[in-house]
Structure 1
Amino acid sequence: MKFTKFKVGAKFAATFVLLIGIFVAVGATTYFSLRTIKTASDWNTHTYHVLGYSNDLIAAVVNQETGVRGFLISGDESFLEPFHAGRTAFNENMKTLLELTSDNPAQQARLRKVEQLGNDWTTTIAEREIALMKDPATVEEARRIESSGAGKGLMDALREAHAEFESAESALLGARGATRENAISFSQMAILLGVGAVLVIGTLLAYLLTRHIGGAVASLTRQMQDLASGNNNIEVPFQGRGDEIGDMAKTVLVFRDAALDKERLERETEENRTLSERERAERERTKAAEAKSLSTAVDALAGGLKELSNGNLTVQLREPFAGDLDRLRTDFNASVETLAKTLTEVESTISGVDANAGEMRSAVEDLSRRTEQQAASLEETSAALEQITATVKNSSERAQEANKKALEAKASTETSTNVVSDAVDAMSRIEHASGEIAKIIGVIDEIAFQTNLLALNAGVEAARAGEAGKGFAVVAQEVRELAQRSATAAKEIKDLIGKSGAEVENGVELVKATGAALAKIAEHVGEINGHIESIATTAREQSNGLQEVNVAVSQMDQVTQQNAAMVEETTALTHRLSEESNHLAALVKRFHLSGSGAAAPRAVSNEAPASSRPSPAKTMINKVRQAFSTNGSAAVDQEWSEF
């Protein structure tokens, strides 16, 4: 079937259907490519979660080793706390990893191997060494087991199996990254090919339609001008076309035949001059009237075709033609009206396409601005989270150091309590010894009194003896003085011992009070130690959580940057589409249509929307702030609010 058999409206409709089909194909291709990219990104996020739990798993193994070795070196069971905590973390992380890799039998087998090696090390090495260390007689045997290297062999095999698991999981990241890159490349190629096809096919169709319709109308206009100038020997083209141009050609053919009939009538008039004057005059009047009617019709049609060649589709032949010639006028008016309606519909369709392209461009530009804002917010969020992670990690280290110092303070307090208790006992013994000394001083005082009394009796007896007892009297006097001095010294010593006893009693009370205060201090230090341990545990958990959030924000930042790049490309494409639509509208506006002014394409507003949804990054930051903020830290609240 030839292209000329279709109506003008059908040709324009087919053109726009073809262009819309190309747009739909490009949009579908882009949509499925984005679906592929999203799926690959989701799997990559899943893999990052697996690798995070895998790192926690190997960290738990290291904690177990550290706890056992610390116990082997020191013999202090408090060093076993990392072992027990690491064992619990190992089991929990292993359970989570088995759930996350349930769709991968190979990774499940590797995890089962790691789990088996960890259990073997725990039962055959760690628990055995711990049991031997608790018995002083088997301490050296436990250390010989560690020195034999059996535990190291199991741990080396476990780390090798874990490294194989992580290598396989990391390889999945590369494969999915390649899939995502291929989808992005395919989407970009589809968009470029679609835009190129629209530009080439749209330009070609516009050229063909302009040449096929405008050229035909211009050719028919020239033929009508020649016919109006009196040249009846013309060839009328486009008679075989089935569209409105063919109808116009047939109409011009009727005009040409009418002009030929006019010439024939003129020749017959010239040949029949021999007729009677009356008949000749009557015939001349009839011919003149017909010639005038024909000339009027030809002039009117020539003017209408001239307006039509100038692109004015509002032209109508209002004055009726004489006789059968009026059918030419009605056919001409109908043809022009049909063409005008067709081009009006085309113009309306172009306006709709331009409006839709403008709305698409505005929406894409808004999306581009929001995506850029979100990318900037995510970048700031990532930087802030890195700082918070470092701060929490530093706080965790400080809390661990404080915990260590609190343990040392507790030990020192217990030692001081023991010293004070010993001091109390010593003061009690001193008090008892002071009492014994006081008793001895009392005995000495009694001896001095008896000695004085004996010296007095000896003096009396010496006086009775006369001259013979003078020497004995001198000795008795000296003994008496010595006894008095001994009594005086004993009294002074007794007074001093009494005062010392009172001071000792006061010192005992003070030492007892000191012991009670130290006992309370030890109790408070124990409570502080418990709080510091809780703070250290919470800080470690916060540090691990912030590290996971930091990784997730970094991934979101990368995806947002990629989305921003794609939105910029889409914005450029919508601008090109709008320009091509305006160009097509300009081509149609060469024709003057009734009831249709120079309808300019609708302007696209570049203003941002009045209200926008809150940023997902800021929502996430508020949740992190609520999770890690404290009621007593106003400065921290202010910094998060400003961020």
Structure 2
Amino acid sequence: MKSFSIKFSIGLVQICVAAACITAGICSIRGLTSVNSHIDQINHKSLASIRAIGTIGEQLRAFRSTESDQLAATSPEAVAGLEAMIGPIAQGETDAIEAYAPLVSSRQEETLFHNLRTQWQNYRASHAETFAHPNPTTDSSTTATTNARLLDEQQAMSATLSSLTTINTVRAGSYAREAEKTYGLTLQRVYGAYLVLFLVLAASVLVVYYNILRPLKKINAAIKQLAAGDTTLAFPYGGRGDEIGDISRSLEVFRSATIRAETLQKEAEHQREQAEVNRRAIHEKAEADARARLKQATGGMADALKRMVGGDLSFQIETPFSPEFEPLRRDFNEALAQLANTFSAMSSSVHTVDDGIQEMASGAEHLARRTAQEAASLEQTAAAVAGIAKSVAQSAQRSDTARQIGIKARETASDSARITDETASAMQRIEEGSERIVSILGMIDNIAFHTTILALNASVEAARAGEVGRGFAVVASEVRSLAEKSTEAARDIRALVLSTASDIQEGSSRVRDSSEALRVIVKFIADMGGNLDAIALASREQSVSLDEINTAIASLDGATQQNAAVAEQFSATSRSIVDESHKLNALVGQFVLPDPDRSEPDDMLMAHAMEDETPAAQWMADLKAGAWSSRAGSEQRF
């Protein structure tokens, strides 16, 4: 099987880690964008429509209250004054209805809006027809009939507004469910990306250990044995096509050259002894000369081999040998130069491996630090969400208490299927109760007004009766005082009802503020946006949703803590690999390599080897040719 280079393996691991991180970021950004889109739909469509409907209802109630005062008026001046007051109110109602037109987003809502506009036009036409004459009517039955007719038209508009409110509430709930679904899908994708990242890190650790660290340890042990003089060992991983294989093959060439040099030294020693025996019989001088030449050659070779064993590869045998040993000197110089070049290439590869592993260790440390920071942020976010959940739970408890009191007071149904419907129906009942209270207050004002007139008439009659009617006059005065107090109380109650309506609007505003605050929280933790709309639906559903978010954040916090631990372990492993690479670099650094400017070119060494015809020169030429073919094959693989 083909082995990939260390540089390619490290680059592939970095690409996989970067791809996993980018995938997690893209999934988080897309999920947050989708959730933000749903929240914008709720804020700019549903909540805006509900606010516009509230404005229309408020203007309608003000119009109806002023109209009730007109019906109760007893003088043309009072009717004219109230008609002047009701004109701006009617115009405000018309403007509020027209302001709602751009917010219509469905065919059903458009039909209801068209009905609302038609009902308002009919209501204004009935009002204009009723008060076409400035003289007030004194017939109580006619006044009651007119009041009932106008009240029916007003209640028809209120029913249409209630239907529009229901449509917008249901639409907001749909947006909320879509946001929750998007949140869940985003969470699954982020978990998947983290799982892939964990698998890639685990696989990279195994690959680095089994393909780099363990082979380097074995080669290191073999180099130590070779430096100790053991030439019988065989360097492993020679068949690999990466930098480890190049190092092993280069060391194998060095071992073969050392063995050949020892063999040549033994042969030379044997030839020297044989020559001494032959020359001793021929001539003492010739024997001495031969001994001197052999001593020169073997001494130079011995000194050279000692320097090689000591790790010095930067020298050349410059002293010429005798002609029969000169090819041996050139072959040894050529082998030594080839070995020095091999160790230079091996040193460059070791530096490349060291640089790649250091980059990998630095990336692992950055990853561990960022993961730890993310875990701390998630822990703080979880604590903040837990506090918000506690506050919302208390609000939900108070909302339940208020809902139970409203249920007992109005004798309505107590078990609602969902908290959102219960909140919407409670708000609707409050609005209808306020409307009925305003209508009743109008009737109370009318009764108090007629009571005052009757008290005045009784006082006049008592005054005419003289002394006999004095007691009746006192009673009439008390009745008139009670009527005035009733009128003042009715006005106070009306003011209180209007204040209550203002409080309801303020409560809706606070719900929107809470929704915005929760949306900011969702942007930091990348997972809580789907539950923010629950604040606009009901306090209880907010509590349940925030509890679920709190649980999800706790789970995500745990996963992030585990990822931080894995990243820290990977960083420690990378630092261990860096230490081993430094050791290997130190071992290679023990060899003294020649300066490239002073070394003899390889082609010249090959030429010297080919010129000689001796077996030793021919063997060194073959060794050089084999080394060149090995290097060519390695460069072709790179």
- TM-score of Structure 1 vs Structure 2, range by shorter chain: 0.5 to 0.7
- Is the radius of gyration larger for structure 1 or structure 2? 1
Q: What aligned pairs does 1:569-580 form with structure 2 within 5 A after superposition?
A: 569-580=555-566
Distance, in Å, in 2 between the alignment partners of 1:114 and 1:410 is 34
| Cα drift, residue 237 of structure 1 | 3.9
**Structure 1 residues 10-65: Cα deviation after superposition (integer angstroms, max 9, x where no partner):** 54344223202210221121111111011112212431442464477578779989
Distance, in Å, in 1 between the alignment partners of 2:115 and 2:435 is 34
Distance, in Å, in 2 between the alignment partners of 1:35 and 1:84 is 47
Q: Give the structure 1 partner of residue 98 of structure 2.
A: 95
Q: What aligned pairs does 1:507-522 form with structure 2 within 5 A after superposition?
A: none
Which AA in structure 2 matches 1:259?
I
SS in 2 for 1:274: helix
Q: What aligned pairs does 1:220-619 form with structure 2 within 5 A after superposition?
A: 220-221=219-220, 223-224=222-223, 227=226, 230-232=230-232, 234=234, 237-238=237-238, 241=241, 243=243, 246-247=246-247, 249-276=249-276, 278=288, 279-280=290-291, 283=294, 287=298, 290-291=301-302, 294=305, 297-298=308-309, 325=336, 331=344, 336-380=350-394, 423=462, 426-427=465-466, 530=491, 533-547=494-508, 549-550=510-511, 553=514, 558-559=531-532, 561=546, 564=550, 567-591=553-577, 593=579
Distance, in Å, in 1 between the alignment partners of 2:123 and 2:483 is 39
| Cα drift, residue 550 of structure 1 | 4.7
Q: Give the structure 2 partner of residue 439 of structure 1.
A: none
Which AA in structure 2 matches 1:294?
L
Which AA in structure 2 matches 1:193?
G
Which AA in structure 1 matches 2:368?
D
SS in 1 for 2:576: coil
Q: Give the structure 2 partner of residue 604 of structure 1.
A: none
| Cα drift, residue 194 of structure 1 | 0.6
Task: Considering Cα pairs closer than 8 Å and 6+ residues apart, tell me whether 1 or 2 has the greater RCO.
Answer: 2
| Cα drift, residue 581 of structure 1 | 1.5
Structure 1 residues 411 and 554: CA distance shift in structure 2, 3 A: farther
Distance, in Å, in 2 between the alignment partners of 1:528 and 1:70 is 16
Distance, in Å, in 1 between the alignment partners of 2:502 and 2:243 is 80
Q: Give the structure 2 partner of residue 30 of structure 1.
A: 28
> Does 1:198 pair with 2:209?
no
Distance, in Å, in 2 between the alignment partners of 1:519 and 1:137 is 22
**Structure 1 residues 259-299: Cα deviation after superposition (integer angstroms, max 9, x where no partner):** 2222233134224421236545764675466457536644x
**Structure 2: unaligned runs, 5 residues or longer:** 277-286, 318-332, 407-426, 519-530, 533-544, 584-638
Is the CA contact 1:385–1:550 (under 8 Å) kept in the aligned structure 2?
A: no
| Cα drift, residue 366 of structure 1 | 2.3
| Cα drift, residue 424 of structure 1 | 5.0
Distance, in Å, in 2 between the alignment partners of 1:70 and 1:189 is 62
Is the CA contact 2:68–2:442 (under 8 Å) kept in the aligned structure 1?
A: no
Larger displacement relative to structure 2 (108-117 or 555-564): 555-564
Which AA in structure 2 matches 1:100?
L
> Does 1:113 pair with 2:115?
yes
**Structure 1 residues 452-498: Cα deviation after superposition (integer angstroms, max 9, x where no partner):** xxxxxxxxxxxxxxxxxxxxxxxxxxxxxxxxxxxxxxxxxxxxxxx
Distance, in Å, in 2 between the alignment partners of 1:143 and 1:404 is 13
| Cα drift, residue 213 of structure 1 | 1.3
Is the CA contact 1:413–1:518 (under 8 Å) kept in the aligned structure 2?
A: yes
Q: What aligned pairs does 1:620-631 form with structure 2 within 5 A after superposition?
A: none
| Cα drift, residue 195 of structure 1 | 1.2
SS in 1 for 2:273: coil
Structure 1 residues 256 and 318: CA distance shift in structure 2, 3 A: closer
Larger displacement relative to structure 2 (566-575 or 385-394): 385-394
SS in 2 for 1:275: helix
Which AA in structure 2 matches 1:43?
Q
| Cα drift, residue 426 of structure 1 | 4.6
Identity of aligned residues (%): 10
Is the CA contact 2:74–2:138 (under 8 Å) kept in the aligned structure 1?
A: no
Is the CA contact 2:250–2:339 (under 8 Å) kept in the aligned structure 1?
A: no
SS in 2 for 1:589: helix
**Structure 1: unaligned runs, 5 residues or longer:** 301-316, 431-506, 598-643
Distance, in Å, in 2 between the alignment partners of 1:283 and 1:253 is 27
SS in 1 for 2:274: coil
Which AA in structure 1 matches 2:381?
L
Structure 1 residues 151 and 519: CA distance shift in structure 2, 3 A: closer
Distance, in Å, in 1 between the alignment partners of 2:232 and 2:264 is 12
Is the CA contact 1:365–1:571 (under 8 Å) kept in the aligned structure 2?
A: yes
| Cα drift, residue 355 of structure 1 | 2.0
